[in-house]
Structure 1
Amino acid sequence: MTQAATPIEVATEPLELNISGMTCAACAARIERKLNKLDGVHAVVNFATERAVVHGIEPAGAAEAIRVVEKAGYGAAVREADDDVWSARAAETRISSLRRRLAVATILTIPLCDLTILLALVPGWRFPDWELVCVLLAIPIVAWAAWPFHRATLRGLARGSLSMDTLVSLGSLASFGWAVVTLVIGSSGPGYWLGFGVTPQGADAIYLDVAAGMITFQLGGRYFEARSRRRAGDVLNALASLAVREVRVLREGLEHIVPVGELRVGETFVVRPGERLAADGTVLDGASGIDTSPMTGESVPVEVRAGSEVIGGTVNLTGRLEIRAEAVGPKGRLAQMAALAEEAQRRKARIQTLADRVSQYFIPAVIVVAILVMISWLLLGAAPRDAFGTGVAVLIIACPCALGLATPTALMVGVGRGGQLGILIKGQDALEASGAIDTVVFDKTGTLTTGAMRVAGLEPLGSTDAELLRWAGAVESGSEHTIAKAIAEAARAALGDLPRASRFAALPGLGAWGEVDGAAVTVGGPRLFAHEGLAVPSEAVAAVERFHTQGATAVLVAVDAVVRGVIALTDEVKPSAATAVERLGSLGLHSILLTGDAEAPARAAAAATGIEDVVSGVLPAEKAEAIARLQAQGHRVAMVGDGINDAAALATAELGLAMVRGTDIAMKSADIILVRDDLGSVVDAILLSRRTLRTIRLNLVWAFGYNIAAIPIAALGLLNPLIAAAAMALSSVLVVSNSLRLRNFEPASRDYSRRVVEYGVGETMAREAV
């Protein structure tokens, strides 16, 4: 798994700035260079989201960063996580301005083009001073409607830099200037080629419609691009929009409506039917159906009752609920999901860095090429107007606008759509890895199985069932492992209160140890007893083998180094597991089960899901080594896990997928986080990642290919400047529109599964009818 997501490690939270005034990727690159000149600062500017993430600067130093951005000719403001009014207002202002300029340009360009082309082709219809009328129609377009391009060009030239606006501004002014000069001094040369024929002599106003048409097409492209980018941003921000502003807190038996920021952990809040949950917590009273689709993409409501865990951002459908808040504000799952989606946008893909670098040097190169093409045509004896037209066509067609939008727009929409479906893609590295993996490795407990283990049998040796449960339950009460929880719950259910174990010590992947009533109690599998040198009698060995044959996990219990019994535990395979493995196989992916459990129960779980290859009995550290061995054999590995013991393996694999019910450490180590407790989401995550990656590649192929193919065509004089302007504007719109198609991605699991989720102590957490 790629670990270069954050270029530098800093102790402070990054500063986020909203940026206004950017018109292309070159603008973003310019701001990035200026910010990175500050001491100890590393900045990443994203043109698609119009934000800058600045590392290495204290919040108190935000004014300095803003000053640098404004000095570069752009606007900036500190982004507030809960209130992004500034950027929304800036986006609406930009779109409104583009709409007005586009409307004026269109109204004037239509008659201008009709006049210039019609009168150019039919000399007999020309009336006195027809050229002057055309010039008067063109002036508002070239001066006012095109002002954003001219302003950006002047701003860049004043600071010694060029942008894509420079090409548009130069092309329109050159076309307008050439037409006016030829109208003033007159010309007796041949007509102009329009792409479908040559105009009669004297059609010197023809380049007025080139200038006007170029500006109109560019404004149209920018307008639709801006609207599309805003819609793409709406998809990305969908998670953040689920947060509520106010909450009904129950204090002294009365409901008080307070701002959600005043809700504290441990307080009880009330959710009425139709209202959205304000925080993660546990239901204390009431029963209802919960719509989790905004968070997980699941269409079937979840039935909850007292004791059920619920998450903020979901919608209460039917009954009144009283919920104890357990994770509020930034600690809540919704806030963490939104933060992860934002983090994905902060990362810049390697291919996007290359695209930015190409744009930086491409623009001045295009200007030089356009001048050389014009000079070459003149030296070859072409008429000045033909040479000029060819140079202008090269200048316009080469604008790499689409190149700057190819990656960030697709990543923005893909990450946003994933968030709506409960699939959190942390960044571009996950997308790149998803396209290359050939092997998917599953952890067993809590990932392939429900993780809701239960005690299925007892084999006391020289003790009673009650004594065996008492010793094991007292020790395991101090552990968070699923096996430990199952033993502790079974002991409490049978015996009530348990003694407290002193000098408790957890042995990762092996078991636990503690003192109970002065006796040293060891609880763990056969590997722990072999590791500690504890003798295991034949009766215990036979019991372990018998339980393993039944597909159960066997745990030995020793008191003062003497084995006093064996406890058998079983765990149900998730109903979605077999279908998920089958679908992965249809995608050409090989599945492997990797577990610390014994061979027999591991084989039983694998057989129930259709997995043939099993690696069992591995310690947490050995899981990462197992992944590394697969990689050494030439495999590209994805790891699916949920626990602390999976963190190293998740980090080692090319692609790490963590179930959200797992630990924070596991989720921090993963590239993709799966919110749905459904292994079908593994398939959906890989499909969405691959489709997003495919969209990025298609965008880049189009953007690079368009420029590479179009420049020679224009240089050979085979492309009219007006057609070049339309084609260049269309390329940007095409890239953004192609990215927006990702909004229509539907999870494959939705085609074959409907989930009915039940919550309750000792019951399976998720049951699915296929």
Structure 2
Amino acid sequence: MLPKFYWLLGIFATPVMFILGGPFIKESWEGALQGHLNSATLISIGAISAYGYSMLMLFTGGENIYFDTATMILVLFTLGRYLEASGRAKAVRNVAPLLEAERQWATVIENGKEIRSSISKMKVGMNIRVRPGERIPVDGIVLEGFSSADESILTGENRAVRKSEGDLVLAGSINQKGSLLVECRNLGSATQWGLICQSVRESLSHPSSIQRLADHVASIFVPIVLGIAVLTIIYWQSQVPLNQALLNGLAVLVVACPCALGLAAPLATALGLGQFLHRGCIIRGGEVQETLAQIRKIAFDKTGTLTKGATSVIEIENNDASQEEVLQRAAGLEQHSEHSLAQGIVSAAKERNLNVTNPERVQAVAGNGVMGYIGGELTAVGRSEWMKKQGLEMPTAFVNKLRNYESSGQTVVCVGWSGKIHGLLLLDDMLLPEVPVMVKTLQSLGMRIMLLTGDLPAVASRIAKSAGVEEWKASMSPDEKCNFIEQWGGIEDPAIMVGDGLNDGPVLARAEVGIAVGSSTDLARETADLVLPEKGLALLPWVISLARAVHRTIITNLLWAFGYNLVAITLAVFGMLQPILAAGLMAGSSLLVVFNSLRLEQFTDQAVDFISVKVTSPSRQSTGLQNSPKFGE
């Protein structure tokens, strides 16, 4: 007669089978109905086999009872799934706010009353009240109130930004201190927050190729394991008693559960995605992360990407007059001009707090310059040839300087009065201060860098030298850029393209990975695979380093999962593992994958901090304008 203890084990094991085993059995049944087997299939077969065999022995008077094995398998795998779920929760916790754009509610002011309304029902022009601690639901203008906003979810900057009447507030940022009344200007998918939300959904719903490969391997792995378990039982049946042969087969089922294999790619991908979005980067899926990690070539557009995209006065040559007087007279005339260079000259005078006089009888001559009378003297600003026609003589000291500046592709504006040219204004598109260090850091990561520009060769050469780029191509049309990026990259060694302008849209789409900077045109942002936050060019080394870290983590996880299964199944087949120990090893394997992936949550890269601090002074770094445009055009 069996001890009563065995009956108690059977009584207590039965509810465990229903409570803990129910979800696994349901999952395996649903998978079977869809025509595929999964990890729950192995767990269910293992637990049901141990429980069913024990029940048979219990009612037939057998002595081999394995209720403890069945329940411990379910307990350990339930614990493992709980820990896996905790890891996944950490992976998506940072991106949870980025999935709520359309579900956001706002306090709308109508006829002096506050009404709670869904964002989906709001319209441009409505006024909303945003209280301290609330997430700002729309892009808008502050009508009244004073506060500060945390825009880190959009820009990656942790510093709070002050907001007062007339300031722009962005959807997705968090109002911190005071109450604000905001007029809605953009909402939903028209906001940066809405675009990020859309990007998150697309990224989470489209697995990367390496993830699809892991899923495919797991799908064929389960039936193979079932076959190995059956063969194990058949082999051991002739060597040991049936109950021991069944235990060996059960150990194979339990230890080979491909949980770690299923976690290897998606967990690391989700954590990497969270890091990107935490810095304000919009990335279009895990596939982009994977591709970024493998690319070793990167090409940059110039204007607006490596440069500020606007001309500035970078140097003033003066003769028989002070620099202040030269700039003051030039700005006085240029404030009446609509030429693209005029704004840079006027801005330079304002930055120096110069009192710009208002000239008389101002006349703009298309393609040449502007002239007028200041203090009764004829004053002119423009091209050297035109200045000579106005009777303004070029000093000998300026002749060689003018020739050198123009031969290098820089734009020079002459300023003259009293029959003589008294100054030369050197204008250029300023190189962004973080570019030289950013380029150097990319090179240290093994990246080959190319500059593509429509400017003259002299300009491209000078820009590349200032930025630290060794290779460049000049005088390129948008179509030529597209053809070049395909040939330069190719199938075996693809390339990244970084740009911002309207004409960069096609080449960003043609590159293996197109990256748009935050101030890009709508077309560039739509065609890019990754969009950096505004003023986020310095993040590029961090972006590539993070993508490589995610890739390394996935490969490490997969190697561990495959290696573990190979060794563990071998041990189980040879009868060296008990089912309970096998379940413990399986749970431990999954935990190693989880913990290895969670290291990405703490991912930092000194390159970003280095770039943000140690930037080269922009005072003498410049890049040149396209083809030195004629004045007044």
Partner Cα distance (2:287, 2:98) in 1: 22
Of residues 105, 117, 126 in structure 2, which corresponds to 1:245?
105
Partner Cα distance (1:319, 1:428) in 2: 39
Aligned to 1:264: 123
**Shift of residue 721, structure 1, vs aligned partner:** 1.0
Aligned to 1:510: none
**Shift of residue 428, structure 1, vs aligned partner:** 2.4
Contact 2:100 2:197 in 1 (8 A): no
**Shift of residue 387, structure 1, vs aligned partner:** 1.5
Q: Does residue 218 of structure 2 align to residue 218 of structure 1?
A: no
Aligned to 1:332: 191
Partner Cα distance (1:543, 1:282) in 2: 48
Of residues 400, 414, 422 in structure 1, which corresponds to 2:272?
414
TM-score scaled to structure 1, two decimals?
0.63
Of residues 468, 480, 501 in structure 2, which corresponds to 1:610?
468
Partner Cα distance (1:434, 1:159) in 2: 35
Q: Larger deviation: 137-146 or 669-678?
A: 137-146
SS in 2 for 1:626: helix
Q: Does residue 220 of structure 2 align to residue 361 of structure 1?
A: yes
Of residues 121, 139, 145 in structure 1, which corresponds to 2:14?
139
Aligned to 1:393: 251
Aligned to 2:52: 177
**Shift of residue 289, structure 1, vs aligned partner:** 4.7
CA distances 1:448-494 after superposition (whole Å, capped 9, x unpaired): 12224347799xxxxx98999799838x7xxxxxx89979999xx99
Matched ranges for 1:499-518 at <5 A: none
Q: 1:487 to 1:711 in 2, by over 3 A?
A: farther
SS in 1 for 2:248: helix
Of residues 502, 516, 540 in structure 2, which corresponds to 1:644?
502
Partner Cα distance (1:248, 1:549) in 2: 60
Partner Cα distance (1:269, 1:522) in 2: 51
Q: 1:271 to 1:608 in 2, by over 3 A?
A: farther
Q: Larger deviation: 424-433 or 316-325?
A: 316-325
SS in 2 for 1:713: helix
**Shift of residue 720, structure 1, vs aligned partner:** 1.1
Q: Does residue 477 of structure 2 align to residue 619 of structure 1?
A: yes
Aligned to 2:338: 473
Q: Larger deviation: 306-315 or 729-738?
A: 306-315
CA distances 1:253-309 after superposition (whole Å, capped 9, x unpaired): x68565344543355666566554332345677876543222222123345677765
Matched ranges for 1:675-690 at <5 A: 675-690=533-548
Aligned to 2:27: 152
Partner Cα distance (2:56, 2:2) in 1: 20
Matched ranges for 1:2-41 at <5 A: none
Q: 1:617 to 1:214 in 2, by over 3 A?
A: same
Matched ranges for 1:722-761 at <5 A: 722-748=580-606, 751-752=609-610
Aligned to 2:231: 372
Q: Larger deviation: 606-615 or 719-728?
A: 606-615
Partner Cα distance (2:454, 2:346) in 1: 20
**Shift of residue 322, structure 1, vs aligned partner:** 6.5
Q: Which residue identity lines up with residue 432 of structure 1 in the other structure?
A: E
CA distances 1:472-528 after superposition (whole Å, capped 9, x unpaired): 838x7xxxxxx89979999xx9999xxxxxxxxxxxxxxxxxxxx9x99899xxxxx
Aligned to 2:157: 298
Q: Which residue identity lines up with residue 332 of structure 1 in the other structure?
A: T
Aligned to 2:205: 346
SS in 2 for 1:445: coil
Partner Cα distance (2:480, 2:528) in 1: 18
**Shift of residue 662, structure 1, vs aligned partner:** 0.4
Contact 1:642 1:662 in 2 (8 A): yes
Q: 1:240 to 1:628 in 2, by over 3 A?
A: same
**Shift of residue 334, structure 1, vs aligned partner:** 0.4
SS in 2 for 1:148: helix
Q: 1:494 to 1:588 in 2, by over 3 A?
A: farther
**Shift of residue 393, structure 1, vs aligned partner:** 0.9
Partner Cα distance (1:139, 1:214) in 2: 14
SS in 1 for 2:587: helix
Aligned to 1:104: none
Contact 2:101 2:194 in 1 (8 A): no
**Shift of residue 445, structure 1, vs aligned partner:** 1.6
Contact 1:238 1:420 in 2 (8 A): no
**Shift of residue 318, structure 1, vs aligned partner:** 6.0
Q: 1:743 to 1:666 in 2, by over 3 A?
A: same
Aligned to 2:617: none
Partner Cα distance (2:125, 2:575) in 1: 74
Contact 1:152 1:165 in 2 (8 A): yes
Contact 1:282 1:324 in 2 (8 A): yes
CA distances 1:376-411 after superposition (whole Å, capped 9, x unpaired): 2224x3322221111111111222222222222222
Q: Which residue identity lines up with residue 90 of structure 2 in the other structure?
A: R
Partner Cα distance (2:142, 2:463) in 1: 32
Partner Cα distance (1:255, 1:414) in 2: 44
**Residue segments in structure 1 that go unaligned for 5+ positions in a row:** 1-125, 188-201, 459-463, 477-482, 497-516, 524-535, 556-565, 756-763, 765-770
Aligned to 1:166: 41
Q: Which residue identity lines up with residue 217 of structure 1 in the other structure?
A: L
Q: RMSD of aligned C-alpha atoms?
A: 4.3
Contact 2:438 2:611 in 1 (8 A): no
TM-score scaled to structure 2, two decimals?
0.75
Contact 2:441 2:607 in 1 (8 A): no
**Residue segments in structure 2 that go unaligned for 5+ positions in a row:** 317-328, 349-355, 370-383, 389-398, 414-423, 614-621, 623-633
Partner Cα distance (1:548, 1:722) in 2: 81
Q: Which residue identity lines up with residue 178 of structure 1 in the other structure?
A: Y
Partner Cα distance (1:677, 1:661) in 2: 8
CA distances 1:43-96 after superposition (whole Å, capped 9, x unpaired): xxxxxxxxxxxxxxxxxxxxxxxxxxxxxxxxxxxxxxxxxxxxxxxxxxxxxx
Partner Cα distance (2:290, 2:169) in 1: 34
Q: Which residue identity lines up with residue 550 of structure 2 in the other structure?
A: T
Partner Cα distance (1:452, 1:289) in 2: 30
Q: Which residue identity lines up with residue 159 of structure 2 in the other structure?
A: V
Aligned to 1:656: 514
Q: Which residue identity lines up with residue 86 of structure 2 in the other structure?
A: R
CA distances 1:411-443 after superposition (whole Å, capped 9, x unpaired): 222112211111222122212222222222222
Q: 1:704 to 1:693 in 2, by over 3 A?
A: same
Aligned to 2:528: 670
Partner Cα distance (1:237, 1:392) in 2: 40
Contact 1:283 1:307 in 2 (8 A): yes
SS in 2 for 1:348: coil
Contact 2:249 2:573 in 1 (8 A): yes
Percent identity over the alignment? 34
Partner Cα distance (1:274, 1:140) in 2: 46
Contact 1:281 1:325 in 2 (8 A): yes
Contact 1:266 1:324 in 2 (8 A): yes
Q: Does residue 127 of structure 2 align to residue 231 of structure 1?
A: no
Matched ranges for 1:399-438 at <5 A: 399-438=257-296
SS in 2 for 1:700: helix
Q: 1:544 to 1:136 in 2, by over 3 A?
A: farther
Partner Cα distance (1:432, 1:576) in 2: 26
CA distances 1:285-340 after superposition (whole Å, capped 9, x unpaired): 78765432222221233456777654222234567766654322210010101111
Of residues 702, 710, 716 in structure 1, which corresponds to 2:574?
716
Q: Larger deviation: 216-225 or 236-245?
A: 236-245
